[in-house]
Structure 1
Amino acid sequence: MSVTEAVVEDPPAGEPPRRRTPRFVAAGWAAARNGWRQLTSMRTALMLLFLLAVGAIPGSVLPQRSVKVEDVLGFYNAHPDLAPVLDRLWGFDVYASPWFAAIYLLLFTSLIGCITPRLLDHVKALRTAPPDAPKYFNRLPQAAVLDQPVDEAAAKAALRGWRTVRREQADGTVTLAGEKGYLKEAGNLLFHSSLLVILIGVGLGSQWGWHAGRLIVAGPEQVFCNTVQQYDDFGLGPQVGAGDLPDFCLELTDFRAEYRADGMPISFAADVAATDSAHGDLGRHTFSVNHPLRLDGANVYLLGHGYAPVLRYTDAAGVTQETVSPFPYTDPTLTSEGVAAFPDANGSDQTKQMAFSGTYMPTKDGPPYLRSDHPEERNPALMLTAYRGDLGLDAGIPSSVYDLDQRQLEAGRLKKYGEPKLMRRGETWTLPDGSKLEFVGTRQWITVSIRHDPGEPIVLAGAVLLLVGLPLSLYGKRRRVWLRLRPDGSAEAGGLPRTEYPGFEDEFRSLVERWQR
């Protein structure tokens, strides 16, 4: 008979034949049962937790597309052979990879399988009275014979704080059973449940959360509205669409920074005016580092700040254009480098487009003009180099707004135009063709991180449960004591620690002394 055939039992007389479960089905059920036991064991849960931590290492070491696509492209350029291999292994999308999700779900299942039976057992233990005293106390780790009669009421008073049950035997013997230390198992359950809660919160945040970054320049014409098109970089959860983002706009009205004499920062604060389409003006708000701006559906965090030179260019035909160009800083003194481009200069001739690349120093009193002396604007200096030619903006190739297109420079389609020039605020630079550039001044800019994570409250609750459960789990000691009072006035006591508890002997001795007193 093959393993797929059912086995027919010989029935008792007068009954129809009964068919047993096929052997391959029984073997399958046995394998599934053993697999479930292995998956829901504490050893497996710890192994999966370790694998989850190891699996998160590539997400911390390698650039992630969900955080910043530009860093991934830079890694491709720096490692053209290694990057495709890592990409096939989901190295740049670790937290969205199938293998990370598999570890996550297995750990989730394992924790549920570990916690549920233990929770049921703990509830059953809480509802079950402490067992009656054993017949022979001398077989327990702690035992004592009391040398004088014990008052039952006083004995109960000594067991205050213990879960106590009184039993009376047929011969008049009274036993008091006390148990203590249930909080240890409760702490264990809270600790392991906290991991489960944290996993739920992280999963919820990764699916329905989103984050974005934006550089905002001060000024009413530089208003930022919360749309995907206006983000510098963003990452939306799988369950979030562009139309699900909250509706609000922010205008940077002021920024205040305080520094020490050596240039170390003391405090930063940004003032913004917030609006939305439903309520109109939402008022003015101030936020700073570690004190985000909390709006309906999003939190805005202040990350950094810098300066944006305001330049006014007048071409040879007398046409004037003005631009506000943020310069990213390169050191703690806010020495900043950037580009101010005028693609519409000199009419529609692409070969006569203008750009100015340079370094802005908030405080610089004298040469060399390479680095600012202080991050605060005390004596600003702007060192610029002019470039003329095709800026490559119409090529359709993505490029940084903070640097010139190196392809255009290497091809000779964009060339230097005149000698570098140091400019102070209010000065004008006359170029060889008669055009002029004026350094009007500067504006402040800030970089913000805009985030929404619906799993944050759940993760916080899990962290609180972890902090509560861990001490209970470490310091809770479950133990039992018994006191037997016989009708003739004799008494004896016994004690049993349910967990490893080096101090139980002293606690039992102290309890016996209180009974004897």
Structure 2
Amino acid sequence: MTLNTSNNSSKNTAVDTSDPPSTTSIGLLKRLQRYWKRELIPLLADLRLAIALLLAIAVFSVTGTVIEQGQTLAFYQANYPEDPALFGFLTWKVILTLGLDHVYRTWWFLALLILFGSSLMACTFKRQLPALRWFSRTWNFYSQPRQFEKFALSAEFDRGSLDHFIPLLRQRRYKIFQEGNKLYAHKGIVGRIGPIVVHVSMLLILAGSLYGAMTGFFAQEMVPSGETFQVRNIFDAGPWAAAQIPKDWSVKVNRFWIDYTPDGTIDQFYSDLSVLDQAGQEIDRQTIHVNKPLRHNGVTFYQADWGIAGVQFRLNNSPVLQLPMALLDTGGNGRFWGTWIPTKPDMSAGVSVVAKDLQGTLLVYDMNGQLISTVREGMATHVNDVDLAIVQIIGSTGLQIKADPGIPLVYAGFGLLMVGVIMSYISHSQIWALQTENGKFYVGGRTNRAQVIFEREMIEMLNQVRDVKG
């Protein structure tokens, strides 16, 4: 008996202790649901929070525009030194620590976008859509004269008729609903839908920005004329950008050239590019220049910079030789490229040649740094007992390469935003009317904007009702 009682007691105790966890889980879930509905959603839907987030996004976007993005460590150390610090605090360490060198891909900037998107969604579902449903319920008819007292613009006539009033509304394109001696009319309901369209468009823009930040990449290449390259020099990429980077096709720079103005300044520079498949066959060919990029498979190639890659020359009757040219450090006094050309087989003597553009003129200096000659492309000069002929100065094109799969969403969002803004400017006007059994006639109305125009329209209709009554 004791054992049985003990076992039963143990079983009862086990059953009793199994219930509270289930009850606790249900209670916790209910509390979370109440917190979500009563605390979190109203907080996200708060207009003040949305404005604060929008301002923060704007400030950091400006920061990402002012501070150069995706540069090397040496660049930031040179331009944002610790002493003196810019504005007293902005140094290269601060920039790298906070991620200001790649603002648009930092976790905190993406978190701001997600939080702002959540705020827009909460506002849309908690305020905009319920407001639209509420406006649909205002199609209820007013049956009591006292209901017209709340309107800022209303009138009472000793006599009047809906039959005379309805044609006046139709002339002004009101949609009319009538139930016996009661009338409701409205126009411009699209003005109430406009804010919802604006919210949806902003969500599209945010979604496109996030998608582009996670899947896009940005690269730069400096490629000499005649060279074929694949995108390698990527300095900013999202965590899921691997699928966008070209792997089964390459690009060949057929030719790079610069058009100059009569006074010698650069007018435009061009790159003749061919897209090649894995077999080296040309599948696309375009000549690009500034503001006219090449687009292929979601990747865009922009003409962004130029340089001098090398020089082809001949010594006496030798074959054509080629040497690379390097950008010289001029301390900010312009861009010059130079190289050293040996004039003796043992390299015991030679000359330095310097060029500043692709117009074909080279400055020739001896080993003491003295200018000894000037030679143009296709011409020769006699130096160190040899004839130095310049065959060609080889240019290199600087390309900015970008892939942003989120751009179509962003463009669609901006297009929808313009439509929504236009829709929002349309006034939503509402008019109620009541004809009582004793012959009295009541009219009242309101609008959400263009109040003066609506008042003029109402006064004009009321005067016409008065005239008919007379």
Normalising by structure 2, report the TM-score. 0.76
The partner residue of 1:37 within 31, 35, 42 is 42
Give the corresponding residue for 2:399: 448
The partner residue of 2:185 within 156, 174, 178 is 178
1:111-157 CA-partner distances (Å, limit 9, x unpaired): 22112223431552465461212523344211224576546276156
Describe the shift of the 1:247–1:342 C-alpha distance in structure 2 as closer, same or farther (beyond 3 A).
Answer: farther
1:189 shift after superposition: 1.6
1:453 shift after superposition: 0.7
Code of the aligned partner of 2:413 = G
Q: CA RMSD in A?
A: 4.1
Q: Distance in 1 between matches of 2:371 and 2:350?
A: 14
Query: Given that residues 308 and 357 in structure 2 are in contact (C-alpha distance below 8 angstroms), is that contact kept between their aligned partners in structure 1?
Result: no
**More helix by percentage:** 2
Alignment of 1:430 with 2:383, yes or no, is yes
Give the corresponding residue for 1:162: 174
Describe the shift of the 1:198–1:217 C-alpha distance in structure 2 as closer, same or farther (beyond 3 A).
Answer: same
Give the corresponding residue for 2:153: 142
Task: Name stretches of at least 5 consecutive residues in structure 2 with no aligned partner.
Answer: 1-22, 86-90
Alignment of 1:208 with 2:215, yes or no, is yes
The partner residue of 2:75 within 67, 71, 77 is 71
Q: Distance in 1 between matches of 2:449 and 2:31?
A: 38
Secondary structure of the 1:502 match is: helix
Matched pairs, number: 430
Describe the shift of the 1:430–1:132 C-alpha distance in structure 2 as closer, same or farther (beyond 3 A).
Answer: same
1:322 shift after superposition: 1.2
Describe the shift of the 1:328–1:143 C-alpha distance in structure 2 as closer, same or farther (beyond 3 A).
Answer: farther
Q: Distance in 1 between matches of 2:108 and 2:386?
A: 60
Code of the aligned partner of 2:102 = D
1:89-122 CA-partner distances (Å, limit 9, x unpaired): 3333333333323322221221221122234315
1:178 shift after superposition: 1.0
Q: Distance in 1 between matches of 2:324 and 2:432?
A: 83
Alignment of 1:325 with 2:325, yes or no, is yes
Q: Distance in 2 between matches of 1:20 and 1:250?
A: 64
Give the corresponding residue for 1:340: 339
1:272 shift after superposition: 2.5
Query: Given that residues 155 and 444 in structure 2 are in contact (C-alpha distance below 8 angstroms), is that contact kept between their aligned partners in structure 1?
Result: yes
Map of 1:253-268 to 2, 5 A cutoff? Answer: 253-255=254-256, 258=259, 260-262=261-263, 268=269
The partner residue of 1:58 within 45, 60, 63 is 63
Query: Given that residues 129 and 165 in structure 1 are in contact (C-alpha distance below 8 angstroms), is that contact kept between their aligned partners in structure 2?
Result: no
Q: Distance in 1 between matches of 2:428 and 2:94?
A: 54
Query: Given that residues 132 and 192 in structure 2 are in contact (C-alpha distance below 8 angstroms), is that contact kept between their aligned partners in structure 1?
Result: no
Give the corresponding residue for 1:383: 363
Secondary structure of the 1:239 match is: coil
1:214 shift after superposition: 1.8
Q: Distance in 1 between matches of 2:128 and 2:464?
A: 35
Q: Distance in 2 between matches of 1:280 and 1:22?
A: 65
Give the corresponding residue for 1:511: 461
Query: Given that residues 217 and 403 in structure 2 are in contact (C-alpha distance below 8 angstroms), is that contact kept between their aligned partners in structure 1?
Result: yes
Q: Distance in 1 between matches of 2:432 and 2:185?
A: 6
Give the corresponding residue for 1:301: 302
Normalising by structure 1, report the TM-score. 0.70
Q: Distance in 2 between matches of 1:339 and 1:95?
A: 38
Describe the shift of the 1:308–1:26 C-alpha distance in structure 2 as closer, same or farther (beyond 3 A).
Answer: closer
Alignment of 1:358 with 2:363, yes or no, is no
Alignment of 1:292 with 2:293, yes or no, is yes
Give the corresponding residue for 1:495: 445
- Once the two structures are overlaid, the 10-residue window that deviates more, 75-84 or 198-207, is 75-84
Query: Given that residues 198 and 420 in structure 2 are in contact (C-alpha distance below 8 angstroms), is that contact kept between their aligned partners in structure 1?
Result: yes
1:284-316 CA-partner distances (Å, limit 9, x unpaired): 32233222212123111222445555243769x
Q: Distance in 1 between matches of 2:320 and 2:394?
A: 20
Task: Name stretches of at least 5 consecutive residues in structure 1 with no aligned partner.
Answer: 1-18, 169-173, 363-376, 387-415
Q: Distance in 1 between matches of 2:198 and 2:401?
A: 32
